[in-house]
């Protein structure tokens, strides 16, 4: 089946896959080729994709929705970061920076953005 993970900025991942596990709002759900159609909101967490050929790919997401049809799973995420190549030092630095930016937020809009970025950094830290 085709798996696509898309944010407002770019296509984060697009490939054929044997299975995908998505952090749904009501719990994680797995999708295999031929799955019944449905739509679900997603919570912050890690999407795990078993790519055709045996490799596994992990992407951290915050917010959005997933649409499943028998031959495709499309995830529209508010924010997403591919875990490929990230080290513990990378995500620790990102987490510390997100905490600093949140502490310096001056307006409600800045605070809301900084809070989402902190949530993404915390989820990424747990994933790596």
- pLDDT in the model for residue 62: 87
> Which residue shows structure tokens 């898309």?
6
What is the overall mean pLDDT for the chain? 92
Cα–Cα distance measured from residue 102 to residue 108, given in angstroms and rounded to the nearest whole number = 11
Task: Return d(Cα 99, Cα 114) in angstroms, integer.
Answer: 8
Position 18 scores a pLDDT of 95
CATH architecture of 2-82: Sandwich (2.60)
What's the pLDDT tens digit per position in 72-90?
Answer: 999 999 989 888 888 889 8
Neighbouring C-beta atoms of residue 111, cutoff 10 Å: 14
Per DSSP, the three-state class of 100 is helix
Q: How do the domains of the chain map onto residue ranges?
A: 2-82, 88-127
> Tokens for 54?
């045996």
Structure pTM? Answer: 0.83
Can you say how many angstroms the Cα of residue 115 is from the centroid of all Cα atoms in its chain?
Answer: 16
- Asked if pLDDT for residue 6 goes beyond 90, the answer is yes
């Amino acid at each position: 089946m085709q798996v696509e993970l898309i944010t407002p900025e770019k296509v984060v991942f697009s490939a054929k896959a044997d299975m995908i596990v998505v952090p749904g709002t009501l719990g994680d759900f797995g999708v295999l080729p031929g799955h019944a159609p449905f739509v679900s909101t997603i919570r912050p967490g890690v999407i795990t994709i078993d790519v055709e050929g045996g490799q596994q790919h992990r992407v951290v997401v915050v917010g959005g929705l997933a649409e499943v049809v028998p031959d495709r799973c499309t995830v529209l995420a508010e924010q997403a970061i591919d875990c490929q190549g990230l080290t513990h030092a990378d995500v620790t630095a990102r987490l510390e920076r997100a905490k600093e930016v949140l502490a310096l937020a001056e307006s409600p809009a800045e605070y809301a953005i900084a809070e989402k970025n902190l949530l993404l950094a915390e989820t990424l830290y747990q994933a790596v």
